[in-house]
Chain A
Amino acid sequence: MTLALSDEEIDLRLLLEAIFLKYQYDFRDYALSSIKRRMAQALAKLGGETITSLQDRVVHDSEFFQKLLTFLTVPVTEMFRDPEFFLAVRREVLPSLQTYPSIKLWVAGCSTGEEVYSYAILLQEADLLDSSLIYATDIQPESLTHAKAGVYAREALLKYEVSYREAGGQKDFLKTYFTCNDDQAIVLAELKKNILFSDHSLATDSVFAEVQFASCRNVLIYFNRSLQDRALGLFYESLSHRGYLALGNKESLNFSNYADRIETINRTQRIFRKLP
């Protein structure tokens, strides 16, 4: 299809091309509307007249690029976001994972780690964490560092505690899983020990392990259709026989090439399963 691109869109595409050539971060197949809005915010905050002026600085100043990267990969996450989803994982997925001697999970686009630790808590409460390995991947180095550290604002944790309860949690959330001081909470080491945080791009890297459960929530909405299909291809290849896939609440396989290879097992909570 021919697209009538505006000058601004042409500038944006050239900048994304430059970023890819220089740093191998590939945003070229991201949904244009989101990347455009994020770039506009970056322009406003980092200073700069036009997208073209960013291109010059990005190519010649790698520190500047790191700053820009934080705008392009805004972390949006929380623990037990959409509690009904985590309740469904607890009830509908974990009993089946239990039958494996060891369980591997992949949380793609793990951002600052909140969701990974939510899964770790679910596994712990099903007595499965010791036999599990969670691969948590993202492209943003700062987010991965934050995720590994597992340090969160205590105030945020109070909100997450409500979601934890709605997701079927019955323990004293803060005391059981965190060491707290006045304003911060640190995830306990026992929750972290079976999590492997690493740099991985759904746009440029390939499959690295066989997993029984892959989770990629609210990431595909930022991709265009072809990149979405690339990412789904990685999950499909990575999933073991009848493995599970979890997507965000408004994501589906309807506009993908995988609708006939992956079945929907919980439509409302967007839980899917690889067909034999």
Chain B
Amino acid sequence: MIEPSRVKAVVIGASAGGVGALLKIFQGLHGQNFPPVMVVLHFPAQAAPIFEQVFGRPDLQVLEAEDKAPVVSGAIYFAPPGYHLQIEPDKSFSLSVDDAVHFARPSIDVLFETAADVYRDSLLGVLLTGANADGAQGLAYIERLGGQAVVQSLEEADSIAMPQAAISLLSKPTQFKLQAISELFDRLN
């Protein structure tokens, strides 16, 4: 069972098919009464959308994460295209142009692992549809440090490679449909 009351920060990873999935789960988030949500969405750097325009709503603040900015609740932060997004011990963002991980920069693993080190058991990691293995190790690391892990259900994901890779590494994989993730988000505060 996922315990929403424990969650002080959320990290999300998505790749192929991720835009539609994110739009759906963000329906559970409103206003500013939710913990910080940090997202890595794979995109070729040149073709990346402007996240504010795609995901922002009048009642939902969506930002590109800025280097050295403090992580604040009530906002959704996206990793800038071409940069790894990391969380520092003082709960601020840092960026890096180090090598791609699983051919990806930003890499989901990098965000998940650095966030797990900081938020430990108060972190919720969510891995959605995707066609590669990025994020699986990061999600397993979140679980190992006592955080909670949710994977998009295989019967629903557009591309199952990413959730499947995570399920094989997790000791207690929780599979949720997008609707259930959205409802879980609605219960965060």
Contact = CB atoms under 8 A, between A and B. Distances in A.
Counting chain B CB atoms within 10 Å of each CB, which of A36, A37, A220, A252 scores highest?
A37
Contact of A255 (B66, B96, B117): B66
Interface SS, B side? loop
Interface string A189-223: 00000000000000000000000000000101110
Given A32-B88, A220-B67, A250 B98 contact: no
A21 interface: no
Which among B95, B98, B99, B114 has the highest number of chain A CB atoms within 10 Å? Answer: B95
Nearest to A74: B98
A139 B11 CA distance: 35
A221 B88 CA distance: 12
B49 interface: no
Nearest to B70: A255
Nearest to A225: B68
Interface string B66-85: 11110000000000101100
A33 interface: yes
Interface in B85-125: 86-90, 92, 94-99, 110, 114, 117
A74 B99 contact: yes
Contacts of B117: 6, 9, 33, 36
A254 interface: yes
Contact of A221 (B90, B94, B114): B94
A218 B97 contact: yes
A4 B89 CA distance: 8
A250 B94 contact: no
Given A34-B96, A74-B98, A74-B99, A255 B67 contact: yes
Contacts of B69: 254-255
A53 interface: no
Say whether chain A's binding surface is mostly helix, strand, loop, or mixed: loop
Contacts of B99: 74, 76
A201 to B, nearest CB: 20
B96 A3 contact: no
B96 A222 contact: yes
B110 A37 contact: yes
Contacts of A37: 86, 96, 98, 110, 114
A228 B66 CA distance: 14
Contacts of B90: 1, 3
Given A6-B117, A254-B66, A221 B97 contact: yes
Contacts of A248: 97
A228 B94 CA distance: 12
Contacts of B88: 31-33, 224
A15 to B, nearest CB: 16
Contacts of B80: 250
Contacts of A3: 89-90
Contact of B98 (A38, A220, A255, A256): A38
A35 to B, nearest CB: 10
B119 to A, nearest CB: 11
Given A31-B88, A33-B114, A250-B95, 20 more contacts: A6-B117, A9-B117, A32-B88, A33-B94, A33-B117, A34-B94, A37-B98, A218-B97, A222-B94, A225-B92, A248-B97, A250-B67, A250-B80, A250-B83, A254-B66, A254-B69, A255-B66, A255-B69, A255-B92, A256-B68
21 contacts: A4-B89, A31-B86, A33-B87, A33-B94, A33-B96, A33-B117, A34-B98, A37-B110, A38-B98, A76-B97, A221-B67, A221-B83, A224-B88, A248-B97, A249-B82, A250-B80, A254-B66, A254-B68, A255-B66, A255-B69, A255-B92
Give 8 closest A-B pairs by Cβ, nearest first.
A33-B86, A255-B68, A31-B94, A33-B114, A221-B95, A3-B89, A34-B96, A76-B97
